[in-house]
Structure 1
Amino acid sequence: MLRCLVQENPKQWEEVLSKAEFAYNAMPNRSTGKAPFNIVYTKAPNTTVDLTVLPKCKSTEAASYSKDYSQILNEVRQQLTSANQRYKEAADKHRRQQLFNVGDLVMVRLRRERFTPGEYSKLARRKIGPVPIIAKFNDNAYRVELPSGYNTSSTFNVADIWPYHSTDDAPISISSSESSSSEAGED
């Protein structure tokens, strides 16, 4: 946030720090749905609109400014709501719903973060399996039976789990040289 605010003047970060802090504390959090300021002080912070709207203000300029600013805020709020809806729709197109049961065989992706430093190898297999699911915590978290030698947690998010498909069910493709020799053997 500071990088965006200071742009070409990075040495002036102290001057914009209070603005950045106010903006951060006044914005609703995605998880709680409330701004940190609301949680701590039980009310929203005063903004320019709050300060310009005086109960018995006779200034037409101040009233006009307040009205224009309120209208801009409403338009921005509507734009953000529609943009968030578009982002959600785009993200949902790529989301996959996977449900597994205890006993299902799955392939599991091992990410670098799961290993202690020096234990992860770039050339190691990315997915291991098939491994059986031994516990289901909810639709997003499963425990699998990892092979011995893996010194990592056996609980995985559904994003790192894929259903295992046996190669026995896969169609067999035969090259032309193999097909001529197999046809000769059948006669």
Structure 2
Amino acid sequence: MTNRSTGKSPFSVVYTKHPNHTVDVAVLPQCNSKPAAEFAEQFSQMIQEVRQKLEESNLKYKEAADKHRKKREFKVGDLVMIRVRRERFGHGSYSKLSPRKIGPFSILRQINPNTYVVDLPNHYNTSNTFNISDLSAYHPPDAAPTNLSSSDSDSSVSGGE
């Protein structure tokens, strides 16, 4: 059966031909002949073609996945909601019936495109550094300005625990 990415069957990639019989799986001894050298050259060329087709196939899959992907970026001072996960928040602070997101909290700084330091209060007992997948933009329910008082947040800017 042929692979849709390579256009060849796995057997034909490994053994350079389609199987005729179970004896075809046998290992051939080494020899120093011109036909053997040509065969080796054809084999290496075929392997290169398979690699190229796999790269093209991967690019095609990536383009299809990127069509549905949204680029998210936050700036310092933006308000975000944090997704609450059992792995992240300790025993007793997470419940199945608790809200799935907490916040809003402001962004203190960006470490890299995927990691942000959030102004998280110390009573959460977790690091204030979050992956972008756990952050979502805060949209207030009305047009009134949202002010966070400094008593609500007492975390450090360092990004540590």
Q: Which TM-score band (shorter chain)? A: 0.5 to 0.7
Flag structure 2 segments of 5+ consecutive residues without an equivalent.
1-29, 144-161
Flag structure 1 segments of 5+ consecutive residues without an equivalent.
1-51, 170-187
1:80-159 equivalences in 2 (<5 Å):
80-116=54-90, 120-159=94-133
Aligned position for 1:58: 33
Aligned position for 1:34: none
Deviation at 1:121, TM superposition (A): 2.5
Q: Distance in 2 between matches of 1:58 and 1:127?
A: 70
Pair 1:95–1:82, CA change in 2 (3 A): same
User: Is 1:72 matched up with 2:39?
Assistant: no
TM-score by length of 1: 0.53
One-letter identity of the residue aligned with 2:134:
D
Give the aligned length: 116
One-letter identity of the residue aligned with 2:138:
Y
* 3-state DSSP of counterpart to 1:88: helix
CA contact (8 A) 2:75 2:107 kept: yes
Deviation at 1:89, TM superposition (A): 1.0
* 3-state DSSP of counterpart to 1:166: coil
* 3-state DSSP of counterpart to 2:62: helix
TM-score by length of 2: 0.60
Aligned position for 1:21: none
- Considering only CA atoms, is the larger Rg found in Structure 1 or Structure 2? 1
Between the two proteins, what is the percent identity of the paired residues? Answer: 53
Q: Which has the higher contact order (CA 8 A, sep 6+)?
A: 2
CA contact (8 A) 2:105 2:118 kept: yes
Deviation at 1:117, TM superposition (A): 5.7
One-letter identity of the residue aligned with 2:58:
N
Pair 1:91–1:112, CA change in 2 (3 A): farther
Deviation at 1:70, TM superposition (A): 1.5
